[in-house]
Amino acid sequence: MRRATIGVFDSGVGGLTVLRELVARIPDADYIYFGDTARLPYGSKSRETIARYAVSATKFLEEQGAELLVIACNTASALALDAIREAAHVDAIGVVEPGAEAAAAATRRNKVLVIGTEATIKSHAYQRALEKRGVEVCEKACPLFVPLIEEGWAEHPVTQQVAHVYLDDVFHDFETGPDVLVLGCTHYPLIKPLLRSVAPWRVEIVDSAEATARCVAESLRIAPPKTSEGAERRKFTRMKFFATDSVEKFRSLGERFMGHALEDVQRVDMGG
């Protein structure tokens, strides 16, 4: 079977959690990852600027041979996916719709909490996607999680305390509150065990990275590998990484997100 070449785009390193899930689900593919680390954070920029950056990045991925684009950035998925699809010559899949679809399927009482960065929450992209599916939505911006995760504090007591501050009010009454928690930021899978300890045990956690990988596999009509085969096949998965800022910093953070060293990392200058 011919190997697919999948391009993955994010404003930084967070999208590596999506790449990790893609590799687990689709090991027999080639991956090209683009992290626009020189121009992050996207959340403080206008919709027009985000769209311009995202379109230039995805065009670069196409030039590198990408046959399918995965927009792993929640902000770009929320604010620029239409512009990307209009400019691209290949299909593009964002993280918002797969995450919303998984949450709608998981909730039993039609009440979902979405956590994310300020930019993603202000876009109300998850809210619109979930309300379209008849689900009541509570949104919560959790801006401290990203710097804590990048500091390497995914299991630190300070991060757990911050999580309690963000979430305890929402989950104070499980019987009437949300029964699903959506991780609306690609950094957040790294603190999933911590969030599991903070949220009520009956609350299901939906990881938009996992949901996106399932969506991509379904679009390519690829069944998940058998457990006995997956690890062996992943040894032959080819990955190439591009970053617009320090390669050393990308490698250092990227290893934390991927769980292994990143070999082929190149710096690329995208201009202003």
Cite the active site residues: 73, 185
Which residues fall within 8 angstroms of residue 257, CB to CB, at 6 or more apart? 13, 14, 16, 17, 20, 190
From CA 187, how far away is CA 74, in angstroms rounded? Answer: 10
In DSSP terms, 181 is beta-bridged to 113, 205
Burial label for 203, CB within 10 Å (0-12, 13-18, 19+), is: buried
From CA 257, how far away is CA 249, in angstroms rounded? Answer: 12
From CA 104, how far away is CA 101, in angstroms rounded? Answer: 5
What's the token pair of residue 116?
A: 């994310």
Instruction: State which amino acid sits at residue 33.
Output: Y
From CA 26, how far away is CA 238, in angstroms rounded? Answer: 11
Q: How many residues can be counted in the chain?
A: 272
